[in-house]
Structure 1
Amino acid sequence: MSIIMVDIESDGPIPGDYSMVSFGAVVVEESLSKTFYGKLKPISDKWIQEALEVSGHTREEVLSFSEPVEVMNEFKVWLNENSNGNPMFYSDNNGFDWQFINWYFHHFLGENPFGFSSSNLGSLYKGMVSDTFKNFKHLTRTKHTHNPVDDAIGNAEALLHMKQEMGLKIGLK
């Protein structure tokens, strides 16, 4: 089983009514060299300007992105080629990121290669340090840019730090 760190950017708070603009993923391993970047054409005429601005893209730009079914299929192929066994979904905010990835996989491909569960990096760190007010962001090396690949890599760096420096028992294959 491989851990895949994922980060998404969207133009609103929920999938279906709003669109996932882009997402990035990285296999959590020492090299952090196996990455995926998808940019998706909107599925809705609705968007929130402030949410879209976070991604660094304009509405005109995202309208030229790839069809979601193509991107989700490419991501599924990438997962099959880059993970050992069933991939495990991790993210900084899995309540947000997971809902988009899960919805898009089911809506466009009829299945989700991650299955039915996800893990939250922030909650894992809070449990490790026994403090619900602590944040793991100081463990990242890659700057948080809202490019979802950069952000996924930074989060993967934090998880690797938790394993290597803090003693987290976690299998990374």
Structure 2
Amino acid sequence: MVKRDIKTLIFVDCEACGKSPSTGKLTEFSAVAYPSRAIFHGVLSGKGLLEEKEVFEKFERWILQVTNGLRPIFVSDNPAFDWQWINDGFWRTIGRNPFGWSARRIGDFYAGLVGDFANSSSWKKLRITPHDHNPVNDAMGNLEAFERLLNGER
């Protein structure tokens, strides 16, 4: 198997109060770059749009730095949840999303590797950093599991 250069993967995890940006608030999120493991941690204390804008501007600068200006690829345990918060935050605060319009789900990658479309959660056993709803730990654990998948573990 030929591996493409995948140095623009950004593993993201979000924590929020509420089920969606229309009914809740993003409280914090983290991103971990692959393979460098550089970490970004955004905390939103609820001080309003100026605080959010500052956090998302810093996040965009960090993304551009860790990807050397190449298009970043959003990767998450559950982009149906995480993506909506990040996409909303970028568009509302700075009017663009450096990730574009798509995201990748680790569970789908795993299901493809094992040839079982319904098996999209067993990869979680490969996390090293415990999943504890601290977005820094959760994003790092997801990256670790993904890296182990790339190295042939199932």
State the distance in 2 between where 1:28 and 1:80 align.
13
* Distance in structure 2 (CA, Å) of the matches to 1:41 and 1:13: 18
| In structure 2, distance between residues paired with 1:154 and 1:147 | 11
Find the counterpart in structure 1 of residue 101 from structure 2. Answer: 116
Q: Which amino acid aligns with 2:41?
A: Y
Q: Residues 139-167 of structure 1: CA distance to partner in whole angstroms, max 9, x if unpaired?
A: 11001111101100000001111111249
For 1:137-148, list aligned pairs within 5 A.
137-148=124-135
Aligned partners of 2:24 and 2:9: how far apart in 1?
A: 27
The TM-score, its normalising length taken from structure 2, stands at 0.87
Cα distance in 2, alignment partners of residues 17 and 105 from structure 1: 17
Unmatched segments (≥5 aa) in structure 1? 43-62, 168-173
**1:70 equivalent in structure 2:** 54
Report how many residues are paired. 144
Query: Corresponding residue for 1:165?
Result: 152
**TM-superposition CA deviations, 1:11-57 (whole Å, max 9, x none):** 0100133110000000011x52x000011133xxxxxxxxxxxxxxx
Unaligned runs of 5+ in 2: 1-6
Alignment of 1:20-169 (within 5 A): 20-29=26-35, 31-32=36-37, 34-42=38-46, 67-84=51-68, 85-131=70-116, 132-133=118-119, 134-166=121-153
Letter of the structure 1 residue corresponding to residue 20 of structure 2: I
Which contiguous aligned blocks of 4+ residues in structure 1 show a shift greater than 3 angstroms? none
User: Share of identical aligned residues, percent?
Assistant: 39
Q: SS state of the match for residue 141, structure 1?
A: coil
SS of structure 1 residue aligned to 2:122: coil
Which SS does the other structure have where 1:165 is aligned? coil
